Homo-oligomer: A and B are copies of this chain.
Amino acid sequence: MAGAAGFTLADLAKALQARLEGDPARVVTGVATLDRATPAEISFVTHPRYRDAARASRAGAFLASDDVGDLPAPSLRCAAPQRALIELLRLFYPPPTVTPGVDPTAVVARGARVDPTAAIGPLTVVEDGATIGAGVRLHALVYVGQGAEIGAESVLYPHVTVRDGVRLGRRVIVHPGAVLGADGFSYVLDDGRHRKIPQVGRVVIEDDVEIGANAAVDRAMLGDTVIRRGTKVDNLVQIAHNCEVGEDCVIAAQVGIAGSSRIGRGVVLAGQVGVADHLTIGDGVTAAAQTGIHNDIEPGQTIWGTPARPAFQTKRIAVAESQLPELVRRVRALERAVDALTRARGSSTPADGDDGS
Protein backbone atom coordinates (compact mmCIF):
# COMPACT_ATOMS: atom_id res chain seq x y z
CA MET A 1 0.00 0.00 0.00
CA ALA A 2 3.06 2.28 0.01
CA GLY A 3 3.64 5.21 -2.32
CA ALA A 4 4.40 3.95 -5.81
CA ALA A 5 7.89 4.97 -6.83
CA GLY A 6 9.29 6.06 -3.48
CA PHE A 7 11.10 9.19 -2.36
CA THR A 8 14.71 10.33 -2.40
CA LEU A 9 16.23 11.11 0.96
CA ALA A 10 16.61 14.68 -0.20
CA ASP A 11 12.83 14.86 -0.76
CA LEU A 12 12.15 13.39 2.66
CA ALA A 13 14.64 15.64 4.44
CA LYS A 14 12.88 18.64 2.97
CA ALA A 15 9.37 17.40 3.76
CA LEU A 16 10.26 16.45 7.34
CA GLN A 17 12.55 19.45 7.90
CA ALA A 18 15.25 17.00 8.90
CA ARG A 19 19.04 17.13 8.59
CA LEU A 20 20.33 14.49 6.17
CA GLU A 21 23.44 12.44 6.95
CA GLY A 22 24.28 10.48 3.79
CA ASP A 23 23.42 10.22 0.12
CA PRO A 24 20.57 12.62 -0.84
CA ALA A 25 19.86 10.62 -4.02
CA ARG A 26 19.15 7.33 -2.27
CA VAL A 27 15.56 6.25 -2.90
CA VAL A 28 13.36 4.50 -0.34
CA THR A 29 10.10 2.87 -1.40
CA GLY A 30 8.52 2.19 1.95
CA VAL A 31 8.67 2.56 5.72
CA ALA A 32 8.96 -0.37 8.13
CA THR A 33 9.92 -1.25 11.69
CA LEU A 34 13.58 -1.90 12.50
CA ASP A 35 13.23 -5.68 12.51
CA ARG A 36 11.33 -5.88 9.23
CA ALA A 37 12.76 -3.11 7.08
CA THR A 38 14.55 -4.12 3.88
CA PRO A 39 17.39 -2.14 2.27
CA ALA A 40 14.79 -0.48 0.05
CA GLU A 41 12.93 0.91 3.06
CA ILE A 42 13.39 3.61 5.67
CA SER A 43 12.95 2.81 9.36
CA PHE A 44 12.87 4.99 12.47
CA VAL A 45 14.74 5.30 15.78
CA THR A 46 12.72 7.52 18.07
CA HIS A 47 14.78 6.92 21.21
CA PRO A 48 18.41 6.06 22.03
CA ARG A 49 17.19 2.81 23.65
CA TYR A 50 16.50 1.42 20.18
CA ARG A 51 20.08 2.07 18.99
CA ASP A 52 21.16 -1.59 19.15
CA ALA A 53 18.08 -2.69 17.24
CA ALA A 54 18.85 0.02 14.70
CA ARG A 55 22.43 -1.15 14.26
CA ALA A 56 21.15 -4.67 13.59
CA SER A 57 18.53 -3.44 11.12
CA ARG A 58 18.81 -3.96 7.36
CA ALA A 59 16.97 -0.67 6.69
CA GLY A 60 18.32 1.44 3.83
CA ALA A 61 17.84 4.66 5.80
CA PHE A 62 16.71 5.92 9.18
CA LEU A 63 14.66 8.68 10.65
CA ALA A 64 16.38 9.27 13.98
CA SER A 65 16.57 11.66 16.87
CA ASP A 66 19.69 13.77 17.19
CA ASP A 67 20.79 11.92 20.33
CA VAL A 68 20.97 8.51 18.67
CA GLY A 69 24.61 7.83 17.74
CA ASP A 70 26.04 6.55 14.47
CA LEU A 71 23.74 4.43 12.37
CA PRO A 72 24.61 1.88 9.64
CA ALA A 73 22.79 3.75 6.86
CA PRO A 74 21.97 7.32 5.83
CA SER A 75 19.92 9.13 8.47
CA LEU A 76 17.39 11.91 8.63
CA ARG A 77 18.03 13.63 11.94
CA CYS A 78 15.56 15.74 13.83
CA ALA A 79 14.75 16.81 17.37
CA ALA A 80 11.23 15.37 17.49
CA PRO A 81 11.39 12.12 15.51
CA GLN A 82 7.93 10.91 16.57
CA ARG A 83 6.28 13.97 15.06
CA ALA A 84 8.40 13.53 11.94
CA LEU A 85 7.28 9.90 11.84
CA ILE A 86 3.67 11.05 11.54
CA GLU A 87 4.62 13.06 8.45
CA LEU A 88 6.69 10.19 7.06
CA LEU A 89 3.75 7.78 7.36
CA ARG A 90 1.44 10.30 5.70
CA LEU A 91 3.83 10.61 2.77
CA PHE A 92 3.95 6.86 2.21
CA TYR A 93 0.32 6.22 3.13
CA PRO A 94 -1.62 9.28 2.01
CA PRO A 95 -5.13 9.38 3.48
CA PRO A 96 -7.72 8.07 1.01
CA THR A 97 -9.40 10.67 -1.13
CA VAL A 98 -13.10 10.49 -0.56
CA THR A 99 -15.69 11.40 -3.16
CA PRO A 100 -18.38 13.58 -1.64
CA GLY A 101 -21.99 12.59 -1.99
CA VAL A 102 -24.62 10.25 -0.65
CA ASP A 103 -24.44 6.60 -1.68
CA PRO A 104 -27.67 5.62 -3.44
CA THR A 105 -28.25 2.81 -0.91
CA ALA A 106 -27.99 5.15 2.11
CA VAL A 107 -31.25 6.17 3.78
CA VAL A 108 -31.16 9.88 4.52
CA ALA A 109 -34.32 11.45 5.91
CA ARG A 110 -35.69 14.40 3.97
CA GLY A 111 -35.33 16.63 7.03
CA ALA A 112 -31.63 15.87 7.52
CA ARG A 113 -29.08 18.51 6.46
CA VAL A 114 -26.07 16.98 4.74
CA ASP A 115 -23.25 19.27 3.62
CA PRO A 116 -22.51 18.75 -0.08
CA THR A 117 -18.85 18.04 0.73
CA ALA A 118 -19.75 15.18 3.08
CA ALA A 119 -19.57 11.53 1.98
CA ILE A 120 -22.27 9.13 3.14
CA GLY A 121 -21.50 5.44 2.63
CA PRO A 122 -23.69 2.54 1.53
CA LEU A 123 -26.58 1.49 3.76
CA THR A 124 -25.99 4.30 6.25
CA VAL A 125 -29.02 5.81 7.96
CA VAL A 126 -29.35 9.51 8.78
CA GLU A 127 -32.56 10.38 10.59
CA ASP A 128 -34.71 13.47 10.45
CA GLY A 129 -33.23 16.72 11.71
CA ALA A 130 -29.68 15.41 11.81
CA THR A 131 -26.87 17.68 10.58
CA ILE A 132 -23.82 16.31 8.77
CA GLY A 133 -21.02 18.88 8.50
CA ALA A 134 -18.54 19.77 5.77
CA GLY A 135 -16.06 17.09 4.79
CA VAL A 136 -17.61 14.53 7.14
CA ARG A 137 -17.18 10.91 6.19
CA LEU A 138 -19.82 8.45 7.30
CA HIS A 139 -18.68 4.96 6.31
CA ALA A 140 -21.11 2.18 5.45
CA LEU A 141 -23.78 0.97 7.89
CA VAL A 142 -23.53 3.98 10.22
CA TYR A 143 -26.57 5.20 12.18
CA VAL A 144 -27.10 8.89 12.98
CA GLY A 145 -30.24 9.58 15.01
CA GLN A 146 -32.78 12.40 14.97
CA GLY A 147 -31.38 15.83 15.53
CA ALA A 148 -27.81 14.61 15.99
CA GLU A 149 -24.99 16.87 14.78
CA ILE A 150 -21.74 15.64 13.25
CA GLY A 151 -19.10 18.39 13.10
CA ALA A 152 -16.93 19.16 10.09
CA GLU A 153 -14.21 16.72 9.00
CA SER A 154 -15.38 14.01 11.43
CA VAL A 155 -15.09 10.33 10.43
CA LEU A 156 -17.53 7.66 11.58
CA TYR A 157 -16.58 4.06 10.81
CA PRO A 158 -19.01 1.22 10.03
CA HIS A 159 -21.63 0.19 12.57
CA VAL A 160 -21.26 3.32 14.67
CA THR A 161 -24.46 4.38 16.45
CA VAL A 162 -25.03 8.06 17.21
CA ARG A 163 -28.38 8.33 18.91
CA ASP A 164 -30.81 11.24 18.76
CA GLY A 165 -29.63 14.64 19.89
CA VAL A 166 -25.97 13.69 20.29
CA ARG A 167 -23.55 16.41 19.24
CA LEU A 168 -20.06 15.75 17.83
CA GLY A 169 -17.49 18.49 17.29
CA ARG A 170 -15.03 18.86 14.43
CA ARG A 171 -12.45 16.25 13.43
CA VAL A 172 -13.98 13.66 15.75
CA ILE A 173 -13.12 10.04 14.86
CA VAL A 174 -15.48 7.28 15.96
CA HIS A 175 -14.32 3.70 15.43
CA PRO A 176 -16.52 0.78 14.39
CA GLY A 177 -19.29 -0.33 16.69
CA ALA A 178 -19.03 2.57 19.14
CA VAL A 179 -22.33 3.72 20.65
CA LEU A 180 -22.85 7.37 21.56
CA GLY A 181 -25.97 8.34 23.45
CA ALA A 182 -27.52 5.10 24.67
CA ASP A 183 -29.69 5.52 27.75
CA GLY A 184 -27.93 5.93 31.08
CA PHE A 185 -28.28 3.09 33.58
CA SER A 186 -30.55 4.75 36.06
CA TYR A 187 -33.49 3.30 37.97
CA VAL A 188 -35.64 3.93 41.00
CA LEU A 189 -36.19 0.98 43.31
CA ASP A 190 -39.94 0.80 43.76
CA ASP A 191 -41.29 -2.01 45.87
CA GLY A 192 -38.42 -4.35 44.91
CA ARG A 193 -38.60 -3.56 41.21
CA HIS A 194 -36.39 -1.23 39.20
CA ARG A 195 -38.32 1.51 37.42
CA LYS A 196 -36.52 3.19 34.58
CA ILE A 197 -35.82 6.93 34.86
CA PRO A 198 -36.24 8.53 31.42
CA GLN A 199 -32.84 9.49 30.05
CA VAL A 200 -33.58 12.72 28.24
CA GLY A 201 -30.15 14.39 28.23
CA ARG A 202 -27.51 14.35 25.51
CA VAL A 203 -23.90 13.48 24.75
CA VAL A 204 -21.54 16.27 23.71
CA ILE A 205 -18.22 15.27 22.15
CA GLU A 206 -15.90 18.20 21.53
CA ASP A 207 -13.35 18.74 18.74
CA ASP A 208 -10.51 16.31 18.04
CA VAL A 209 -11.84 13.56 20.27
CA GLU A 210 -11.36 9.93 19.20
CA ILE A 211 -13.67 7.15 20.41
CA GLY A 212 -12.56 3.50 20.18
CA ALA A 213 -14.24 0.47 18.67
CA ASN A 214 -17.27 -0.83 20.57
CA ALA A 215 -16.92 1.87 23.24
CA ALA A 216 -20.08 3.26 24.86
CA VAL A 217 -20.78 6.81 26.01
CA ASP A 218 -24.21 7.10 27.61
CA ARG A 219 -26.47 10.12 27.34
CA ALA A 220 -27.16 12.17 30.47
CA MET A 221 -30.37 11.73 32.43
CA LEU A 222 -30.76 15.51 32.11
CA GLY A 223 -28.13 17.86 30.74
CA ASP A 224 -25.03 16.51 29.02
CA THR A 225 -22.44 13.79 29.22
CA VAL A 226 -19.35 15.62 27.96
CA ILE A 227 -16.01 14.58 26.51
CA ARG A 228 -13.82 17.61 26.04
CA ARG A 229 -11.45 18.62 23.25
CA GLY A 230 -8.59 16.37 22.31
CA THR A 231 -9.39 13.44 24.58
CA LYS A 232 -8.68 9.97 23.21
CA VAL A 233 -10.85 7.03 24.27
CA ASP A 234 -9.79 3.48 23.43
CA ASN A 235 -11.84 0.39 22.56
CA LEU A 236 -14.53 -1.08 24.80
CA VAL A 237 -14.52 1.84 27.23
CA GLN A 238 -17.67 2.63 29.20
CA ILE A 239 -18.45 6.25 30.07
CA ALA A 240 -21.69 6.49 32.00
CA HIS A 241 -24.43 9.10 32.07
CA ASN A 242 -23.64 12.65 33.19
CA CYS A 243 -19.87 12.14 33.28
CA GLU A 244 -17.56 14.91 32.21
CA VAL A 245 -14.13 14.03 30.87
CA GLY A 246 -11.68 16.93 30.55
CA GLU A 247 -9.44 17.98 27.68
CA ASP A 248 -6.49 15.95 26.39
CA CYS A 249 -7.16 12.84 28.47
CA VAL A 250 -6.09 9.32 27.50
CA ILE A 251 -8.64 6.68 28.47
CA ALA A 252 -7.24 3.24 27.63
CA ALA A 253 -9.14 0.12 26.63
CA GLN A 254 -11.86 -1.36 28.84
CA VAL A 255 -11.84 1.49 31.34
CA GLY A 256 -15.19 2.06 33.04
CA ILE A 257 -16.31 5.41 34.47
CA ALA A 258 -19.52 5.31 36.49
CA GLY A 259 -22.25 7.93 36.49
CA SER A 260 -21.70 11.65 37.17
CA SER A 261 -17.94 11.43 37.71
CA ARG A 262 -15.71 14.29 36.61
CA ILE A 263 -12.34 13.55 35.10
CA GLY A 264 -9.94 16.50 34.98
CA ARG A 265 -7.72 17.68 32.18
CA GLY A 266 -4.78 15.62 30.94
CA VAL A 267 -5.77 12.57 32.98
CA VAL A 268 -4.39 9.16 31.92
CA LEU A 269 -6.40 6.07 32.86
CA ALA A 270 -4.61 2.87 31.84
CA GLY A 271 -6.41 -0.29 30.73
CA GLN A 272 -9.31 -1.75 32.75
CA VAL A 273 -9.31 1.05 35.33
CA GLY A 274 -12.63 1.51 37.12
CA VAL A 275 -13.91 4.85 38.45
CA ALA A 276 -16.89 4.80 40.83
CA ASP A 277 -19.77 7.25 40.47
CA HIS A 278 -19.92 10.90 41.56
CA LEU A 279 -16.13 11.21 41.94
CA THR A 280 -13.76 14.01 40.98
CA ILE A 281 -10.42 13.00 39.47
CA GLY A 282 -8.07 15.98 39.42
CA ASP A 283 -6.12 17.35 36.46
CA GLY A 284 -3.07 15.39 35.45
CA VAL A 285 -3.87 12.26 37.44
CA THR A 286 -2.38 9.01 36.11
CA ALA A 287 -3.92 5.67 37.13
CA ALA A 288 -2.09 2.39 36.42
CA ALA A 289 -3.89 -0.54 34.79
CA GLN A 290 -6.80 -2.16 36.68
CA THR A 291 -6.80 0.52 39.38
CA GLY A 292 -10.13 0.73 41.20
CA ILE A 293 -10.94 4.31 42.18
CA HIS A 294 -13.49 4.72 44.97
CA ASN A 295 -12.60 8.22 46.19
CA ASP A 296 -11.79 11.64 44.80
CA ILE A 297 -8.19 11.96 43.63
CA GLU A 298 -6.15 15.14 44.03
CA PRO A 299 -4.59 16.67 40.89
CA GLY A 300 -1.24 15.34 39.74
CA GLN A 301 -1.34 12.05 41.66
CA THR A 302 -0.05 8.81 40.17
CA ILE A 303 -2.18 6.02 41.58
CA TRP A 304 -2.38 2.25 41.42
CA GLY A 305 -4.27 -0.64 42.95
CA THR A 306 -7.66 -1.42 44.41
CA PRO A 307 -8.39 0.52 46.49
CA ALA A 308 -6.44 3.20 44.61
CA ARG A 309 -3.39 4.50 46.44
CA PRO A 310 -0.33 6.51 45.43
CA ALA A 311 1.53 4.13 43.12
CA PHE A 312 4.73 4.07 45.20
CA GLN A 313 2.67 3.00 48.21
CA THR A 314 0.90 0.18 46.31
CA LYS A 315 4.31 -0.95 45.05
CA ARG A 316 5.66 -1.04 48.60
CA ILE A 317 2.57 -2.93 49.76
CA ALA A 318 3.00 -5.41 46.89
CA VAL A 319 6.59 -6.06 47.93
CA ALA A 320 5.57 -6.48 51.57
CA GLU A 321 2.69 -8.78 50.52
CA SER A 322 5.20 -11.21 49.06
CA GLN A 323 6.67 -11.52 52.53
CA LEU A 324 3.29 -11.82 54.24
CA PRO A 325 3.06 -15.62 54.62
CA GLU A 326 6.62 -15.58 55.99
CA LEU A 327 5.72 -12.65 58.24
CA VAL A 328 2.88 -14.65 59.79
CA ARG A 329 5.40 -17.37 60.66
CA ARG A 330 7.87 -14.86 62.06
CA VAL A 331 5.22 -13.30 64.30
CA ARG A 332 4.27 -16.75 65.57
CA ALA A 333 7.94 -17.45 66.36
CA LEU A 334 8.22 -14.10 68.15
CA GLU A 335 5.16 -14.88 70.23
CA ARG A 336 6.70 -18.15 71.30
CA ALA A 337 10.01 -16.48 72.12
CA VAL A 338 8.37 -13.66 74.10
CA ASP A 339 6.19 -16.16 75.89
CA ALA A 340 9.29 -18.17 76.83
CA LEU A 341 11.12 -15.03 77.99
CA THR A 342 8.12 -14.00 80.04
CA ARG A 343 7.72 -17.42 81.58
CA ALA A 344 11.45 -17.54 82.33
CA ARG A 345 11.08 -14.35 84.39
CA GLY A 346 8.49 -16.09 86.58
CA SER A 347 4.89 -14.91 86.97
CA SER A 348 6.07 -11.36 87.60
CA THR A 349 5.79 -7.89 85.97
CA PRO A 350 5.71 -8.24 82.14
CA ALA A 351 2.38 -10.08 81.84
CA ASP A 352 0.85 -7.77 84.45
CA GLY A 353 2.07 -4.75 82.55
CA ASP A 354 0.58 -6.13 79.35
CA ASP A 355 -2.79 -6.80 80.96
CA GLY A 356 -2.91 -3.29 82.29
CA SER A 357 -2.52 -1.54 78.93
In the complex, the answer to whether B82 meets A188 with C-beta atoms within 8 Å is yes
In the complex, the answer to whether A354 meets B327 with C-beta atoms within 8 Å is no
* Per-position 1/0 for A286-298, Cβ under 8 A of B: 0001101010000
In the complex, the answer to whether B185 meets A252 with C-beta atoms within 8 Å is yes
Interface with B: A10-18, A67-75, A130-138, A311-319, which one? A311-319
Contacting B at CB under 8 A, from A223-254, are 223, 230, 232, 234-236, 238, 240, 248, 250, 252-254
Within the complex, what minimum Cβ distance (angstroms) separates A268 from chain B?
10
In the complex, the answer to whether A176 meets B179 with C-beta atoms within 8 Å is yes
Interface with B: A21-29, A53-61, A112-120, A192-200, which one? A192-200
Closest residue of chain B to A185 (Cβ to Cβ) is: B234
- A110 at interface, CB cutoff 8 A: no
In the complex, the answer to whether B344 meets A335 with C-beta atoms within 8 Å is no
Given the known A-B contacts A83-B195, A193-B248, A214-B214, are A36 and B161 also in contact in the complex, defined by CB atoms under 8 Å?
no
Residues of B within 8 A of A32 (CB): 222-223
Within the complex, what minimum Cβ distance (angstroms) separates A245 from chain B?
13
- A274 at interface, CB cutoff 8 A: yes
- A333 at interface, CB cutoff 8 A: yes
Q: How far is the CA of A89 from the CA of B200 in the complex (A)?
A: 8
Instruction: List chain A positions with a Cβ less than 8 A from chain B.
Output: 1, 31-33, 36, 80, 82-83, 85-86, 89-90, 92-93, 95, 103, 105, 107, 121-123, 125, 127, 139-141, 143, 145, 147, 157-159, 161, 163, 165, 173, 175-177, 179, 182-183, 185, 187-188, 190, 192-198, 200, 208, 210, 212-216, 218, 222-223, 230, 232, 234-236, 238, 240, 248, 250, 252-254, 256, 258, 266, 271-272, 274, 276, 289-290, 292, 294, 305-307, 309, 313, 316-325, 327-328, 330-331, 333-338, 340-345, 348-351, 353-354, 357
9 contacts between A and B (CB under 8 A): A159-B161, A194-B230, A213-B216, A216-B236, A240-B253, A258-B271, A289-B294, A337-B338, A340-B351
